[in-house]
Amino acid sequence: MSTMWHGCLADTDYFEMRSSSGHDYGVWVTTPPGYDPAATRVPAVYVLDGNWAVGMTAPLVVTQADPMQQIQPYLQVSVGYAGEDAQHWARLRNRDLVPPGEPIAPEFADAVEMSVSTGRMTREEAEAYLAELRDTRADAFLAFLAEELHPRIERDYHTAESGHGLFGYSYGGLFSLYAWLSGRPLFETVGAGSPGVIGEDSQIFARLRELGDSLPAAKLHVTVNDRELFGDLAVYQNLAKNTATLLHRLTPRGGAVTSEVLRETHLTGVQASFLSYLRTCRCA
């Protein structure tokens, strides 16, 4: 990492890795200040959408030294895209973070169309964005995290054997729910911020029905934003409504599920959501 970037993201390494599926990923690894694995090994917390989220979440590693509410030590692994793919992260995440077979909600398509009409996205960009949603592979990306990336992190950074976490926001939050429902033993805590459960026919509800009365053992923390619920954009209203429906269905089953409503918009909520996850799931 360059001197400039290292100054912005202290104690952070960067490397690139090609998955067995042939996709190139950029990985930022932020260690606790003064981390010495020979003395104490810490678990990893995997954070999705690294190209966007690393600058807002990695600095919160300092919460591990907060004398008023100390967070249990962790090593943050932010996962994004590398090379030419980095400039297209906003659409490539659709491929990796959305469960296979997830329907494209009409409200989501309308939101993309609005981006075209307001000039925030060209027609070509919109078509490429939606194309990634027609063949989604969250299953392959989950396998990459657990079976390819984590062994490398474990080897190179000597992480703890257990206690690892996962955090995602928006479609990353949808992925977090998918990973949680998949029951991967790697992740003992999962944070799902404003998860992109846009339609009532989401694969998340289908997977929940498949589980019956049982729930995964991992602790799940879910956040939504009040301005999603009370705003005038249908795509965010549906996201908040369906997240609430999911929580209502989870609560009677008695699992380790917590939630919080944040005073943010969808775009400003990522850092607050990650901090809520740390306070709830990693408080010492």
Averaged pLDDT, 150-171: 97
pLDDT, tens digit (0-9, with 9 covering 90-100), for 16-48: 999 999 999 999 999 998 888 888 899 999 999
In a domain, 244, yes or no: yes
And the tokens for 195? Answer: 């998860």
Give the C-alpha separation, 235 to 111, whole Å. 7
pLDDT, tens digit (0-9, with 9 covering 90-100), for 114-151: 989 999 889 998 898 888 999 999 999 999 999 999 99
Radius of gyration of the CA atoms of the chain, in A: 18
Please give the mean pLDDT across all residues of the chain.
93
| H helical segments located in 183-268 | 203-211, 226-230, 234-250
- Domain total of the chain: 1
Contact 32, 78 (CB under 8 A): no
Determine the structural domain holding residue 88 and report its residue range.
3-100+138-281
CATH code of 258's domain: 3.40.50.1820
Averaged pLDDT, 262-268: 97
Contact 126, 115 (CB under 8 A): yes
pLDDT, tens digit (0-9, with 9 covering 90-100), for 50-68: 999 999 999 999 999 889 9
The pTM assigned to this predicted structure is 0.95
In a domain, 108, yes or no: no
Strand partners, 26: 16, 80
pLDDT, tens digit (0-9, with 9 covering 90-100), for 7-19: 578 899 999 999 9
Output the pLDDT for position 1: 47
Residue 118 is given by DSSP the state: T
Averaged pLDDT, 222-229: 97
Output the pLDDT for position 249: 93
Tell me how far apart the terminal alpha carbons of the chain are, to the nearest angstrom: 31
Output the pLDDT for position 207: 95
Quick check: 214 pLDDT over 90? Answer: no
In a domain, 191, yes or no: yes
In a domain, 36, yes or no: yes
Query: Mean pLDDT: which of 81-85, 118-122, 215-219, 222-226 is highest?
Result: 222-226
User: Token pair 């996201």 is at which residue?
Assistant: 239
pLDDT, tens digit (0-9, with 9 covering 90-100), for 170-200: 999 999 999 999 998 999 999 999 999 999 9
In a domain, 120, yes or no: no
Contact 53, 47 (CB under 8 A): yes
Output the pLDDT for position 7: 59
83: left (phi over 0), alpha (psi -120 to 50) or beta: left
> Could you tell me which residue, 210 or 3, shows the higher pLDDT?
210
Averaged pLDDT, 254-260: 90
